[in-house]
Homo-oligomer: A and B are copies of this chain.
């Protein structure tokens, strides 16, 4: 029985491909763990959708992962975390980890002057999730939030550097440059792919926090705490699923993860117009 439990995988869900930045860190920080990933590429992005729809879609992904007998679920999407995390923790009897709190806690740990910047999608910034999480933990913190709509399209187009990208990033982030932030949370799982350019624009004195890195660290801590760590010496056989075109998914995932990925297509209920 114990052995069966130890062999179970970590389930990771995302509205699309952004959660693969979390997977990459999980693979690096927890190389003995198996991962089952599902990206809802068919219905991506979740950001502009109504609350009930995000809730229903996310629960569909959770049910899919539960059918695979995962030992833990990582909601590797800021939007889905904001909408579903609390309820999922209540209803499931396995640990559920979101991406917002780990990033917020790491920022509180990292800041020296208590001035923290947060960038994310329009939906994430408008939800005030990071600000709420930061204040919940640390109380007196100056938070500077900024939506960066041009960033996700850049990443999805594979445009990660060059003069044009630098100009767009610099222009978008300009409102934060007058702040005293010493720490900047990349509050969207797509953004770490732009981290070198963002770091260059904000300068070396601003500490960037990537949700993926911090979430993977918390996954490691919770696995240990719950004694759910995988201790096998076999190479993990990760599984990838996507609800949309798997050819595009495979190309992006193979490139980002630096190893061949062949996803399986999963049918989900149609997109409401």
Seen from chain A, the residues whose Cβ lies within 8 Å of a Cβ on chain B are: 25, 29-32, 95, 101-102, 105-106, 108-109, 136-140, 213, 216-218, 220-222, 224-225, 229, 231, 233
Most buried by B among A109, A140, A216, A221: A221
Q: Output the least CB separation between A247 and chain B (Å).
A: 32
5 A-B contact pairs sorted by A residue (CB < 8 Å): A29-B137, A101-B221, A109-B213, A137-B220, A225-B225
Taking a contact as CB atoms under 8 Å apart, the answer to whether B32 and A217 are in contact is: no
Write out the residue numbers on chain B whose beta carbons fall within 8 Å of the beta carbon of A109.
25, 29, 213, 216-217
Taking a contact as CB atoms under 8 Å apart, the answer to whether B224 and A225 are in contact is: no
Write out the residue numbers on chain B whose beta carbons fall within 8 Å of the beta carbon of A138.
29-31
**Complex alpha-carbon distance, A136 and B6, angstroms:** 14
Closest B residue, CB atoms, query A231: B136
Q: Output the least CB separation between A252 and chain B (Å).
A: 23
Contact of A221 among B30, B136, B216, B221 (CB under 8 A): B221
Given contacts A95-B225, A225-B95, contact A31 B218 (CB under 8 A): no
**Complex alpha-carbon distance, A32 and B135, angstroms:** 10
Q: Output the least CB separation between A11 and chain B (Å).
A: 17
